[in-house]
Amino acid sequence: MSYRVGVPRSLAYYSFFPLWNSFFEELGCEVLVSRESNKGVLDDGVKETVNDACVPIKLYHGHVKDLKHKVDYLFVPRLVSLDGKETTCPKFLGLPDMVKHSIKDLPPLIDLRLDLRKGKFELWKFFKRLGEKLGKSTWEVFKAYVKSKKIYYRHQKLLEKKASPELAWKIIKGEKSEEELNKMVAENPVKIALLGYPYTIYDPYISVDLLDKCKKMSVDVLTVENIPGKELLRQKKKLSKEMFWYYSNNTIRACLYLLEKKMVDGVIHVTAFGCGPDAMVDKFLEIECKNQGNIPFMTVAIDEHTGDAGMSTRLEAFVDMLNRKRGFK
Amino acid sequence: MRKVSFPKMGPSYIAFKMMLEEFGHEPIEPPVPSKRTLSYGTTHSPEFACLPFKVLTGTYLEVLEKGADMLVSSGGVGPCRAGYYGKMHEKILNDLGYNPELVIFDPPLRAPWDFFKKTRKLKGKTSWYRTADILKRTWKKLIALDDLEIKASKVRPRQKNYGAASKALNKGFSYIEEARNAKEIEEARVEGLSLLENVKDNSEYEPIKVGLIGEIYVVLEPSVNADIEEMLGEMGVEVNRSIYLTSWTRDNTVADGEKDIKEAAKPYLDQLIGGHGQNSIGETVLYGEKGFDGVVHLAPFTCIPEIVSKSIMPKVSKDYDIPVLTLFLDEQTGKAGIKTRIEAFVDLMRKKRRKEVG
């Protein structure tokens, strides 16, 4: 029989939804993604979590609550290592436990561990266990695995062509064509890097639409996902000791890459209030931007109280400054 | 001769000072973290860095002013932020125009060669034979210091005169500070213990028992946790601290000796999350099983592993019927605020015990 699997639209979802969604769908499951973040979802999450948690974690709890009565299984994987080297942040590591012990009356959780440090075929093994849980045969799982992986790579390639995750998904689904993407990629004189984790950058609610705001100001925006994975890995040797967290490392490597290639006029670091790893990342980026060509740098901290007007003002001021620096206006 | 300094963590500086002197360096004693330390620390640290990071930044700046040119500290392998402190501090200090040499010791089993190189750097021209002896004596001193503290936590709640145990403890510390060779250290330890033994007490008083758990730095350094151990002791509470420097090192650096704690944590948190997160859960379970009256859980503000453990804690506390007070500490934390909360918590535990007995 086919199950209804609930996938919270938060955290790692923003990096892996092409992989997860197509995998479940290939297996004939109905995938129910929680609704887009909004005040209701966030408030629900805030009620369930400790006040010291960062806003993405609170939001995640809200998304879980949104799904809990609607599905047979809830997909809350324990993502330990996503690149076979570093782990994710401790809150990701303890996420299934936090969810389990803070929200009542949950449907059965799928909290399988994904730790790519364990070996080469760990990803396949993860999906195999996942398929077993859903009662599928190995062959069915294998087909779904191969196909969803292909879709995931296609998605990655489109991101590298500067598509947003949403647009890339639409192209894959055939709702938009790739030519449209080429047209959309504008060449504006001022280029900024919007660095941060995909779950803050691409969630329009908690980032108060930061990405769109930038685009409306006719500046070119680059995010971590727009930089080819190989180039990011190449930056590794610049550091004598890397940080321990997957997303943080990517952010830092992206910044080093953009600084090395002199691709941006300014860097905005988007961070969630109280984000542990970002306390380190932020200072790191600030010092690097200063030391490598004195690139203007701004930190934007978001939390559950972030207002639209405040964010717009800061963004406008920053972009104005970059424009003036370039001699325009 | 290098001027070497290191972060202060409880009375451990007594042992490290001797070690550096014997290696032929001039030790710069780290000051007790004060308002000045914190103001230096908060000015030059990232806003959301945890309290230990800020205290260390402040301490480094203070000892650099005193002329230190080499800083020694411990590192880590994550995923807690503490493992990246060293690199970050180096970046910040360089940015401020200081160029001290930072020697950060990572756990020896993870990077044996690196550990060896750093030990060689620290020991300078001292022979390996003598180095082994110096390290042995430093270890002995650390154990002696811990032994006195363990004893004091038992004596303090039962003392007749306010402050008598702490006075005896400090005297014991000064004995250990003066001791040099193995025999002297052992004598100082015994002498210190007997000082504490001789504190006048109410032998029939049966204090309530509290487990003290949490992130290692805020548990071990009294100046950042508002002297919580002494505070509880003076209120007539026996404190069982879960972490001592020697036990931590024994457990983590050479072999994994915390198996039972991790095993206890498993039903609630089945994943190593760095720092003391998993331990906090496991220790609470164990204190619950042993019938303690309560648990005080200390963590620095924004500490990632402890936030995870705090969110699971209510469930543990309910399952084992053991009250837990979690305190997140930052540079704004005042002693009076902590005292009020501790008093209320102690009241609660006393009432609970009376109900159970009566």
Is A49 at the interface with chain B, CB within 8 A? yes
CB spacing of A279 vs B277 below 8 angstroms: no
Say whether the peptide bond before residue B79 is cis (omega within 30 degrees of 0). Answer: yes
Question: What pLDDT score was predicted for residue B253?
Answer: 42
Among B95, B271, B309, whose Cβ lies nearest the Cβ of A78?
B271
Structure tokens at A6: 């609930």
Closest by CA to A169, choosing from A182, A179, A154, is A154
Helix (H) or strand (E) holding B119: helix B112-123
10-residue averages of pLDDT along chain A (329 residues) = 88 92 91 93 92 91 94 93 88 92 91 89 92 90 94 93 88 85 77 94 91 88 92 88 89 94 93 89 93 93 88 93 79
- Mutation for testing the B interface, residue in A61, A82, A240, A280 having most B CBs under 10 Å: A280
Those residues whose C-beta lies under 8 Å from the C-beta of residue A305, and which sit 6 or more positions away, are none
Question: What pLDDT score was predicted for residue B106?
Answer: 83
Task: Please return the burial class of B165, using the count of CB atoms within 10 Å of its CB with bins 0-12, 13-18 and 19+.
Answer: buried
Among A89, A102, A241, whose Cβ lies nearest the Cβ of B304?
A89
Q: Taking CB atoms and an 8 Å cutoff, what residues of chain B touch A240?
A: 87
Those residues whose C-beta lies under 8 Å from the C-beta of residue B342, and which sit 6 or more positions away, are B228, B231, B232, B235, B296, B325
Could you report the per-residue pLDDT of B77-95, keeping only the tens digit for each?
A: 778 888 888 889 999 999 9
Q: Taking CB atoms and an 8 Å cutoff, what residues of chain B touch A93?
A: 79, 271-274, 308
CB spacing of A102 vs B311 below 8 angstroms: yes
CB spacing of B47 vs A102 below 8 angstroms: no
A267: β partners: A193, A297
Chain A 220-279, CB below 8 Å of chain B: which residues? 240-241, 243-245, 273-279
Q: Is the torsion defined by CA of B38, B40, B46, B52 positive or negative?
A: negative
| Alpha carbon separation from B238 to B3, B231, B235, B282 (Å, rounded) | 40, 11, 9, 20
Write out the residues of chain B at the interface with chain A, using a CB-CB cutoff of 8 A.
45-50, 53, 77-81, 83-84, 86-88, 91-92, 95, 268-275, 277, 301-305, 307-312, 314-315, 328
CB spacing of B302 vs A279 below 8 angstroms: yes
Could you report the per-residue pLDDT of B180-201, keeping only the tens digit for each?
A: 999 999 999 999 999 999 998 8
Assign residue A196 a region (left: φ > 0; alpha: ψ between -120 and 50; beta: otherwise): left
Can you tell me which residue has the tokens 């972490």? B243
Could you report the per-residue pLDDT of B266-312, keeping only the tens digit for each?
A: 999 988 888 888 999 999 999 999 999 999 999 998 889 999 999 99
Q: Taking CB atoms and an 8 Å cutoff, what residues of chain B touch A276?
A: 48, 50, 81, 302-304, 307
Structure tokens at B87: 């690199």
- At A138 the three-state DSSP class reads helix
Chain B: give the shortest CA distance to residue A93, in Å: 6
d(CA B64, CA B57): 11
| Alpha carbon separation from A84 to A115, A118, A246 (Å, rounded) | 7, 7, 10
* Count of C-beta atoms within a 10 Å radius of residue A323: 17
CB spacing of B79 vs A90 below 8 angstroms: yes
Q: Is the torsion defined by CA of B318, B329, B177, B141 positive or negative?
A: positive
Confidence of residue B243 (pLDDT cuts 50, 70, 90): confident
- At B280 the three-state DSSP class reads helix
Closest by CA to B151, choosing from B139, B169, B163, B167, is B169
A180: β partners: none
Task: Please return the burial class of B151, using the count of CB atoms within 10 Å of its CB with bins 0-12, 13-18 and 19+.
Answer: buried
CB spacing of A240 vs B79 below 8 angstroms: no
CB spacing of A280 vs B78 below 8 angstroms: no
* Count of C-beta atoms within a 10 Å radius of residue B351: 10
Work out the angle at residue B140's Cα, subtended by the Cα atoms of residues B122 and B23, and round it to the nearest 5 degrees. Answer: 25
Task: Please return the burial class of B19, using the count of CB atoms within 10 Å of its CB with bins 0-12, 13-18 and 19+.
Answer: buried
Question: What pLDDT score was predicted for residue B231?
Answer: 95
**What is chain B's mean pLDDT, rounded?**
90
pLDDT at B248 over 60: no
A77 near A83, Cβ under 8 Å? no
Among B45, B274, B310, whose Cβ lies nearest the Cβ of A50?
B310
Among A94, A274, A280, whose Cβ lies nearest the Cβ of B269?
A94
- Mutation for testing the A interface, residue in B54, B56, B81 having most A CBs under 10 Å: B81
**ipTM of the shown complex:** 0.87
* Count of C-beta atoms within a 10 Å radius of residue B283: 26
Q: Which chain A residue has the Cα nearest residue B273? A: A90
User: For chain B, how far is it from start to end, CA to CA, in angstroms?
Assistant: 66
B201: β partners: B159
- Mutation for testing the B interface, residue in A101, A240, A299 having most B CBs under 10 Å: A101
pLDDT at B251 over 60: no
Among A50, A101, A279, whose Cβ lies nearest the Cβ of B48?
A279
d(CA B297, CA A54): 20
Among B273, B312, B315, whose Cβ lies nearest the Cβ of A93?
B273
CB spacing of B271 vs A91 below 8 angstroms: no
* Count of C-beta atoms within a 10 Å radius of residue A119: 11
Among A86, A89, A274, whose Cβ lies nearest the Cβ of B302?
A274
Closest by CA to B170, choosing from B1, B299, B325, B10, is B10
CB spacing of A245 vs B92 below 8 angstroms: no
Q: Taking CB atoms and an 8 Å cutoff, what residues of chain A touch B91?
A: 283-284, 287
d(CA A128, CA A133): 9
Question: What pLDDT score was predicted for residue B252?
Answer: 47
A149 near A143, Cβ under 8 Å? no
pLDDT at B42 over 50: yes
Question: What pLDDT score was predicted for residue A307?
Answer: 86
Among A52, A97, A244, whose Cβ lies nearest the Cβ of B79?
A244
* Count of C-beta atoms within a 10 Å radius of residue B290: 11
Chain B: give the shortest CA distance to residue A95, in Å: 8
Q: Which chain A residue has the Cα nearest residue B329? A: A52
pTM: 0.90
Chain A: give the shortest CA distance to residue B100, in Å: 17
Length of chain B: 358
Mean pLDDT of all residues in B213-239: 93
Can you tell me which residue has the tokens 């411990």? B74
Q: Taking CB atoms and an 8 Å cutoff, what residues of chain B touch A284?
A: 88, 91
Chain B: give the shortest CA distance to residue A50, in Å: 6
Among A277, A282, A287, whose Cβ lies nearest the Cβ of B91?
A287
Structure tokens at B339: 């005292």
C-alpha of B268 from chain center: 25
Q: Which chain B residue has the Cα nearest residue A240? A: B87
Helix (H) or strand (E) holding B102: strand B101-105
Could you report the per-residue pLDDT of A280-329, keeping only the tens digit for each?
A: 999 999 999 999 989 999 999 998 888 888 899 999 999 999 988 887 55
d(CA B358, CA B342): 24
Q: Which chain A residue has the Cα nearest residue B274? A: A90
CA-derived radius of gyration, chain B: 21
Q: Which chain A residue has the Cα nearest residue B269? A: A97
**DSSP strands (E only) in B232-330:** 237-241, 294-300, 324-329
Chain A 105-134, CB below 8 Å of chain B: which residues? 113
User: For chain A, how far is it from start to end, CA to CA, in angstroms?
Assistant: 63
B138 near B246, Cβ under 8 Å? no
Counted across chains A and B, CB pairs separated by less than 8 A come out at 119
A278 near A301, Cβ under 8 Å? no
Edge to edge, the sheet with strand B294-300 lists B237-241, B208-214, B294-300, B324-329
Chain A: give the shortest CA distance to residue B289, in Å: 20
Chain B: give the shortest CA distance to residue A122, in Å: 17
